């Protein structure tokens, strides 16, 4: 995680290919001594670096494949995801059923593909929710410091100290099981951690000389936060976001294990994995019921993590020099 600010050296950087950044509309005369902000060239550079990392590319490709597969599910399988065939229950993988069938005779490949839609949606939406709220909150709190920080983080503490499980159980029990609720509830829990991480990094950052300098120059706070500081935080933000998606997906699985997540006949990888886990016993295991949803989940999470790692490496110029 690039929590440390970049050094404020005055000598030229190692990579002399970097052209002077287009500095349209910026007034700060001392900018060239500061961190180059996230201007156009920076991102192009980052993208190039990303493409060079094999891990990241693999991750991205796998992710695209998975997403496409779930979207194209109706085309890829002849079965409906609700279609039961009790005569063919609990069959191991075969030509007609590449992933086998479950207790009700439903084709597991179909259910895995359709379930993926829900899992990916949960992961994406909840993470986005948590990102938007968490970053803003944490950055503002960490930057302002003092009483504002105190109040804001105490609020976070308050929410944090509310046992998540509790909160979601009651929410689900009271308002019924609507998917939107699930997304919001899961996202609402994750933003807290994001905000604390961002705030922690922000606290370190704001003690840096360059921030002091910019403040002394009279730059507006908002500009400082969004133009100078947050880009420095992009590293940990992105890394943590890619760590959040699996966390959310696993939390959804946890809820499904308790019967509070996605409801039948809908399915998600979490629910499929939970069902599959209940089939692991000492005398008999329908291994396909746990393997394939588990693999789908794992592959997706792996690719997200590879991508996240690649992004982190790409966005952290310090690593450029190696």
Partner 1 sequence: MITFLVRRLLSTIPLLLVILFASFVFMRSAPGGPFDAERALPPQIEANLEAKYHLDEPVEKQFLRYLDGLLHGDLGPSLKYQARSVNEIIGQALPVSLVLGATALAFALLVGIPAGVVGALHHNRTEDYLTMSVSLLGICVPNFVLGPILIIVFSFAVGWFPAGGWGSWNQLILPALTLGAIRAAYIARLSRAGMLEVIHQDFIRTARAKGLRERIVIGKHALRVAILPVITYLGPATASVLVGSVVVERIFSIPGLGSFFVNSALNRDYTMAMGTVLLYSGLLIFLNLMVDVLYAVLDPRVELA
Partner 2 sequence: MKVVSRRGHNPRRIHVLAFAALMTLLSGLGGCGGGSQAPDFVFLVGAEPETIDPATVSGQPGGRVDRNIFEGLAFNDPTDLHATPGMARSWDVSADGLVYTFHLRDAVWSDGTPVTAADFVYAWKRVLEPATASKYANMLYPIAGAEAYNRGDLTDPAGLGFRAEDDHTLVVTLHSPCPYFLQLCCFYTLLPVPRHVVEAYGDAWIKPEHIVSNGPFVLKEWILSRHVLLAKNPRYWDAEHVALNLVEGLTGDNINANFNLYMSGVLDWADASAVPLFVVPELRERPDFHVAPYFNTYFYRFNVTRPPFDDVRVRKAFYLAMDPSDITEYVLRGGQVPAHSLVPPGLPGYHEAHLPGRNVEEARRLLAEAGYPGGKGFPHVELFFNTSESHKQIAEVIQQQWKNALGVQVELVNQEWKVFLATTEAVDYWISRGSWIGDYLDPNTFLDMWQSTNGNNRTGFADPGYDALVDRAARTLDPAKRMDLLHQAEDWVLNKEMIILPVYTYVVQNLYDERDFTGLTPNLLNLINLKSVVPLRGHRGRPRNTDLRPEAAAARTPAAPGSG
Tell me which of 20, 29, 166, 216 binds partner 1, using CB under 8 A. 166
- Cα–Cα distance between 150 and 147 in angstroms, integer? 5
DSSP letter string, 147-166 = HHHHHHHHHHHHHHHS-HHH
Number of CB atoms found within 10 A of residue 73's CB: 19
Q: Of partner 2, partner 1, none, which one sits near residue 7, judging by CB under 5 to 8 A according to partner kind? A: partner 1
Helix (H, G, I), strand (E, B) or coil at 93: coil
CB neighbour list of residue 291: distance below 8 Å, 6 or more residues apart: 276
Residues 63-82 within binding reach of partner 1 (CB under 8 A): none
For residues 305 and 249, is the Cβ–Cβ distance under 8 A?
A: no
CB neighbour list of residue 237: distance below 8 Å, 6 or more residues apart: 131, 135, 194, 198, 230
Query: Can residue 105 be called a binding residue for partner 2 (CB under 8 A)?
Result: yes
- Of residues 57 and 104, the one with the C-beta less far from partner 2: 104
Query: Can residue 103 be called a binding residue for partner 1 (CB under 8 A)?
Result: no
Query: What is the length of the chain?
Result: 322
For residue 131, report the phi and psi dihedrals to the nearest 5 degrees. -60, -55
Question: Which of 189, 171, 191, 173 has its CA nearest to residue 181?
Answer: 171
Q: How far is the CB of 265 from partner 2 (least distance, A)?
A: 6
Q: Of partner 2, partner 1, none, which one sits near residue 104, judging by CB under 5 to 8 A according to partner kind? A: partner 2
Residues 252-271 within binding reach of partner 1 (CB under 8 A): 253-254, 257-258, 270
Query: Can residue 319 be called a binding residue for partner 2 (CB under 8 A)?
Result: no
Question: Which of 227, 319, 314, 295 has its CA nearest to residue 48?
Answer: 314
Query: Can residue 179 be called a binding residue for partner 2 (CB under 8 A)?
Result: no
Residues 252-271 within binding reach of partner 2 (CB under 8 A): 258-260, 263-265
Query: Can residue 130 be called a binding residue for partner 1 (CB under 8 A)?
Result: no
Summarize as ranges the residues that interact with partner 1 (CB under 8 A): 1-4, 7, 145-146, 149-150, 154, 157-158, 160-166, 169-170, 173-174, 193, 196-197, 200, 203-204, 207, 236, 239, 243, 246, 250, 253-254, 257-258, 270, 273-274, 276-277, 280-282, 285, 290, 294, 297-298, 301-302, 305, 309, 312, 318-319, 322
Summarize as ranges the residues that interact with partner 2 (CB under 8 A): 82, 84, 86-87, 89-90, 103-105, 169, 172-173, 177, 258-260, 263-265, 275, 278-284, 286
């Amino acid at each position: 995680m690039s929590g440390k600010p970049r050094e404020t050296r005055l000598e030229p950087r190692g990579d002399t290919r970097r052209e002077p950044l287009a500095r349209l509309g910026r007034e700060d005369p001392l900018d060239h001594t500061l961190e180059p902000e996230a201007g156009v060239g920076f991102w192009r550079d980052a993208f190039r670096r990303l493409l060079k990392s094999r891990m990241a590319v693999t991750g991205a490709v796998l992710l695209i494949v998975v997403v496409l597969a779930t979207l194209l599910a109706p085309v890829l399988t002849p079965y409906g995801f609700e279609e039961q065939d009790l005569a063919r229950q609990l069959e191991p993988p075969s030509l007609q059923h590449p992933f086998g069938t479950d207790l009700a005779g439903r084709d597991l490949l179909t259910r895995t593909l359709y379930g993926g839609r829900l899992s990916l949606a949960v992961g994406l939406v909840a993470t986005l929710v948590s990102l938007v709220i968490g970053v803003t909150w944490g950055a503002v709190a960490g930057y302002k410091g003092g009483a504002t920080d105190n109040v804001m983080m105490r609020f976070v503490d308050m929410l944090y100290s509310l046992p998540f499980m509790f909160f979601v159980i009651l929410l689900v029990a009271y308002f019924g099981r609507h998917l939107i609720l699930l997304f919001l509830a899961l996202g609402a829990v994750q933003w807290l951690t994001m905000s604390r991480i961002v705030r922690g990094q922000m606290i370190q950052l704001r003690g840096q000389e360059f921030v002091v300098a910019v403040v002394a120059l009279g730059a507006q706070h908002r500009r400082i936060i969004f133009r100078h500081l947050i880009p420095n935080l992009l590293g940990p933000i992105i890394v943590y976001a890619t760590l959040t998606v699996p966390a959310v997906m696993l939390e959804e699985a946890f809820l499904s294990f308790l019967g509070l997540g996605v409801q039948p006949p809908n399915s998600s990888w979490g629910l499929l994995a939970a069902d599959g886990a209940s089939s692991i016993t000492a005398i008999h295991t329908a291994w396909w019921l746990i393997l394939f949803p588990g693999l789908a989940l794992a592959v997706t999470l792996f690719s997200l993590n590879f991508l996240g790692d690649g992004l982190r490496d790409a966005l952290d110029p310090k690593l450029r020099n190696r």
